[in-house]
Amino acid sequence: MKKRFGFINILFVAVFILAFFSLMDITWAVTPQIAAGQYHSIVIMPNGTLWAWGENFLGELGDGTTLNRSSPVQVGTDSDWESISAGTNHTVALKSNGTLWAWGYNYQGQLGDGTTANKTSPVQVGVDADWSAITAGSYYTIALKSNGTLWAWGFNDKGQLGDGTKGYQETPLMVFNLSSPHPSNPSNGQIFAACSYYNCPTFSWSLEKTYKNLEIQFSIDQDFSPIPVKVKAKGNITEILMKASTWKKILMMPEDNGGTIYWRVIGINSDKSTEKSVVRSIMIEPAQPVGSPTISSTSKSSFPTLSWQNHCNTKFKVWFGSDSSFAKKKVFSFSIKDPMADEGKFERHLTKGQWTAVSKLVGDVSGSTLYWYVESWDGIKRYSKSGTMSFELTE
């Protein structure tokens, strides 16, 4: 079993170091900082150098080894470290020039360098030099830039990155912009069925300033390539009730199977520069077949009633066959205007002529088995089909 370094011992060493420099009356080049991870600690000394100690099995100390250290060792030779944070088994740090560095455990991409390989010494995260604040969590990292944008990467099984997904991220992903528009409604991940076409939703956001124009963009790709639906608005508008024609296009973007649609708000300034909001998502339910279709009664002398639970469908085709391959068949079409009427319950009586035609498929012989299924189309013309069912023609 690996030896663990106790928190009391780590804290004692940290306090001792800071007390030593204080007693020696050494001029502090930077404000000293201490960060404690699960089993390791990091400190920025008054002269801007970086020191670490504790467990180092995954390279979290950054000294180029995987050797545990029971006393502080210097991390490299640089003396321009400014801020540090220790995660479960990884470390992130800022330099005075605004660059971001990370090392240690990287299986979930928490170092942000585009890989999942552990690093035993500091590696720069990207090339940007405008990072202003950092914090390391349990296998993930959050950082702030000087322009007010918030970035995240690493493990995301509980949505800890805040990007609306639960997939881990190997490079920094912007999840928030303090100065850009802030989407607020619909809530992230809200689910919409085809019936929403008859009661279109309102999309809303907040603004920190007034833009010349706004553009609300929709895509099935989180990178917004392509952007099949765009909605324009004036730069001070904070909500839009979707038009039925526009909402229909959005609902149809994932096609019959439904899926995730991403949306964001773009603020367009007078100089044509833009500011993008964070990306939010909504879920579109797939086209659904009718539920619990029934036919009663099935006597030759009566006219049966077709019924089912309607799932936002407006058009139907009911197929009857003499066998499961529908070698002989009869097809009847029905339609309704409002799929939400009668709490979505559909009922239709077959006429004498329709039922006679169905009976003749099996020679009007009592005890014969007939097969049937229901095709349906919802209000946005997406297709679905029930399973094949059967019934016995009775006397």
Q: How many domains does the chain have?
A: 3
pLDDT at residue 120 greater than cutoff 60: yes
Residues 173 and 187 reside in one and the same domain: no
Residue 19 CA to residue 300 CA, distance in Å, equals 99
Residues 210 and 310 reside in one and the same domain: no
Comparing 172-181, 311-320, 383-392, the range with the smallest average pLDDT is 172-181
Mean pLDDT across the stretch 324-350?
A: 94
Q: Which of 18, 150, 170, 35 is nearest to 107 (CA)?
A: 170
pLDDT score, position 17? 52
Residue 158 CA to residue 156 CA, distance in Å, equals 5
205 is a domain residue:
yes
Residues 302 and 217 reside in one and the same domain: no
76 is a domain residue:
yes
Higher pLDDT, 180 or 45: 45
Mean pLDDT across the stretch 233-253?
A: 96
Q: Are 368 and 376 in contact (CB under 8 A)?
A: no
134 is a domain residue:
yes
pLDDT at residue 176 greater than cutoff 80: no
Residues 166 and 112 reside in one and the same domain: yes
Residues 163 and 229 reside in one and the same domain: no
Mean residue pLDDT of the chain comes to 91
Domain end: 177, 193, 220, which one? 177
Residues 155 and 223 reside in one and the same domain: no
Domain end: 284, 307, 328, which one? 284
Residues 158 and 226 reside in one and the same domain: no
Residues 129 and 202 reside in one and the same domain: no
Residues 304 and 339 reside in one and the same domain: yes
2 is a domain residue:
no
Render pLDDT for 84-108 as a digit per residue (tens, 0 to 9). Answer: 999 999 999 999 999 999 999 999 9
Q: How far is residue 310 from each of residues 339, 351, 372, 379, measured CA to CA in Å?
A: 7, 21, 17, 12
pLDDT score, position 259? 96
CB atoms under 10 Å from CB of 77, counted, come to 7
128 is a domain residue:
yes
Q: How far is residue 290 from each of residues 14, 165, 248, measured CA to CA in Å?
A: 67, 31, 21
Render pLDDT for 269-308 as a digit per residue (tens, 0 to 9). Answer: 999 999 988 889 999 999 999 999 999 999 998 899 999 9
Q: How far is residue 206 from each of residues 117, 281, 298, 392, measured CA to CA in Å?
A: 40, 17, 59, 61
pLDDT score, position 19? 52
Residues 79 and 119 reside in one and the same domain: yes
Instruction: Look up the CATH number of the domain holding residue 22.
Output: 2.130.10.30
pLDDT score, position 278? 83
Residues 166 and 231 reside in one and the same domain: no
Residue 329 domain boundaries: 291-392
pLDDT at residue 253 greater than cutoff 90: yes
